[in-house]
Amino acid sequence: MVKHLGIVGAGTMGAAIAQLAALAGIDVVLYDINDTVLRQALERLKRSLNKAVEIGELTAEQSTDAFTRIHPRTRLIDLSHSDIVIEAVIEDLRIKKDLFKHLEAGTKPTTILASNTSSLSVTAIASATHRPEKVVGLHFLYPVEIVKIVEVARTEETSEETLQRCRDFLNQLGKTVISVTDSPGFIFNRIVHPFHSEALQILGEHVADAEQIDRIMKSEGGFPFGPFESLDIVGLDVSLNTTKALFESSSGDSRFRPHPIQKRMVESGHLGKKSGRGFYTYEEGKK
Amino acid sequence: MAKKKTRTRRPEVMPRVHQPEKAVVYILGDSPMVEEYIVLCSSHGYAVAYDAEGIGAVDASLARKTAKMPENVSFALELTNIDLEKKRKNLEALDKALPVTTAIVSSSVTVSATEQSSWIHHKSRLVGFCSLPTLSTASLVEVAPTVFSPAETIQVVQRFFKSVGKEIELVQDRVGMVFPRIVCQIINEAAFVLQEEVASPQDIDLAMKLGANFPFGPIEWADKLGMQQVYAVLSALHRDLGEERYRISPLLRQMALSGSWWKRM
């Protein structure tokens, strides 16, 4: 059982994981180097927990309890008692490696050091520590509170004990574990990729237009949404970054080559639903 | 010509065309699409005749098996995706036997309708469409006219699909069309993942269904469509587009050829 969780990075993902864990009764130290980011995260968490009470998902007591379980901190040493530390900082290998070095020094030897990376090599991150058997990838997907799965990425060095503790921890959070080996894109991003990428390819060849392709994938294929509706929701910039990372980490495998249409749309600022225009136009968030 | 002896003892000649109110659909092609289309067409009031090998038991009340082309065929369906030599022979035979005005709707998933029309004399009668196993239950069908298809032929095809409860979506005539191309590339990627032992088949399906809301996991999909059909689509894409991105997972190829799922040694 995980009693103390440490989270590094109070951005969207870090804060969402903190909330999830706090609601599962786990004490969370939420660390960020930047005090302002930390305060904003707490405000967001408070709003989100209050909203859950308003819509009847939580009682006021549950909400308050969860909030008091989240301890904002700006010193790494405050993570020292954590059973698991999850890193959710910017996707930059140098920053992550440096961080893991500090985490190793500042935590007890049994602490599992997990990365929420979706595109970097967990193996490379683990190489910065002297306890690679305790290093693992825990890829939470956005939005954390809704998506049921978490990819647990093991390196050659990750121990079975570490994996078992991670599986138990994710059970505590009510998540379904997807076991993967450390590899580019793990499996989620990698298999979602052709859904978007092949649709772009078909669009680029003028086999059908975006609306037709979406209609076909829904009515013929039974998908709840079409690839272009999906890209608009994910954000074309976010999806392009994921694709670029896949392309790079696979040493340029042509299956993962970013499509020129997507690049051009990102360049022109048509990022999807959030910018009001992607493959569709949106007014007040509606097509 | 009529070799078939009529068993009736009545002296009067019965009309040759039985059930004249029913339009006759003639179906050729791969299993299991032939069975699916027999059910679809007969349940929507068509008299169905078919000729195909390796087909499972078909209820004789639904359709009649005949190697000889029945008369008064108002519509022919050619559903072969795998054996393209056979498909060519089927189309040549249909083209020869059917009146010039009878439309042929032919699966154009693994070979374009335009290429198929080059195999026959009466090119204007042929229109491509997307036929894969289990898709006959979908509410929409992709239809690919060729440069030779006049508006009348497209209308006939549209009316036919409407009569069996389907909307059509007109797409450009390209190998793989839309749905097969996307879903087979998803399955191919999943096969690469399996081959590299990145995750188990169960976790692959679970991840995509729970994580991405796919209606089926890639492995389930491969099972539904049939690995040989998937392989035929991917081979056609690779052949037609000649791009590295359509490289087929060697594991998928083995599974298609051996007809069985991969087991870890």
Instruction: Judge contact between B26 and B50, C-beta under 8 A.
Output: yes
Average pLDDT over residues B43-51: 93
Nearest CB to B189; choose among A141, A151, A191: A191
Dihedral sign for Cα B183, B188, B193, B197, please.
Answer: positive
Nearest CB to A220; choose among B140, B172, B206: B140
Alpha-carbon span A263 to B139, nearest angstrom:
34
B264, pLDDT greater than 50: no
pLDDT class for B22, splitting at 50, 70, 90? confident
Angle subtended at Cα B169 by Cα B168 and Cα B174, rounded to the nearest 5 degrees: 125
- Please name the residues between 192 and 231 in chain B that touch chain A, using a CB distance below 8 Å: 193, 196-200, 203-204, 206-208, 210-216, 218
pLDDT class for A284, splitting at 50, 70, 90? confident
Q: How far is A146 from chain B (nearest CA, A)?
A: 9
- Smallest CA-to-CA distance from A218 within B214, B175, B133, B211 is with B214
**Residue A118 among the catalytic residues:** yes
Residue type, A173: L
Annotation: CATH topology of A4-181: Rossmann fold (3.40.50)
For residue A128, give Cα distances in angstroms to A94, A121, A181, A245.
10, 12, 19, 21
Count Cβ atoms below 10 Å from residue A75 Cβ, excluding itself.
Answer: 11
- Sole residue written with tokens 């209308």: B155
Domains and CATH numbers, chain B: 24-170 (3.40.50.720), 179-258 (1.10.1040.50)
Hey, is the C-beta of B12 within 8 angstroms of any chain A C-beta? Answer: no
pLDDT at position B8 is 43
Annotation: CATH topology of A189-275: N-(1-d-carboxylethyl)-l-norvaline Dehydrogenase; domain 2 (1.10.1040)
Residue A262: exposure state from Cβ atoms within 10 A (0-12, 13-18, ≥19) = buried
B9, pLDDT greater than 70: no
**Two tokens, residue A176:** 């379904």
Nearest CB to A202; choose among B181, B183, B208: B181
- Could you report the per-residue pLDDT of B145-177, keeping only the tens digit for each? 999 999 999 999 999 999 999 999 999 999 999
Q: How far is A240 from chain B (nearest CA, A)?
A: 17
- Could you report the per-residue pLDDT of A49-101, keeping only the tens digit for each? 999 999 999 999 999 999 999 999 999 999 999 999 999 999 999 999 999 99
Residue B178 per-residue DSSP state: T
Fold equal for A4-181 and A189-275: no
Element (H, E) at A243: helix A236-249
Alpha-carbon span A254 to B174, nearest angstrom:
21
Name every chain A residue with its beta carbon within 8 A of the beta carbon of B141: 220
- Could you report the per-residue pLDDT of B93-108, keeping only the tens digit for each? 999 999 998 999 999 9
Domain ranges in chain A? Answer: 4-181, 189-275
Q: Note the helical H segments in A81-130.
A: 93-106, 122-126
- Smallest CA-to-CA distance from B230 within B249, B213, B215 is with B249
For residue A146, give Cα distances in angstroms to A40, A49, A84, B117.
22, 15, 22, 50
pLDDT at position B263 is 56
Count Cβ atoms below 10 Å from residue A150 Cβ, excluding itself.
Answer: 26
- Smallest CA-to-CA distance from A114 within A81, A171, A155 is with A155
Q: What is the interface size between A and B, counted as CB pairs within 8 Å?
A: 138
* Start-to-end Cα distance in chain B: 60
Average pLDDT over residues A178-200: 97
Average pLDDT over residues A256-276: 97
Name every chain A residue with its beta carbon within 8 A of the beta carbon of B179: 216-217, 220-221
* Cα radius of gyration rounded to whole Å, chain B: 20
B265, pLDDT greater than 60: no
Q: Provide the b/e sequence for B146-157 (b: ≥16 CB within 10 Å).
A: bebbeeebbebb
- Identify the three-state secondary structure at position B230: helix
- Smallest CA-to-CA distance from B107 within B60, B48, B42, B157 is with B157
User: Is omega for the bond preceding A227 within 30 degrees of 0, making it cis?
Assistant: no
- Could you report the per-residue pLDDT of A5-36, keeping only the tens digit for each? 999 999 999 999 999 999 999 999 999 999 99
- Sole residue written with tokens 């399955």: B187
Contact A207 B204 (CB under 8 A): no
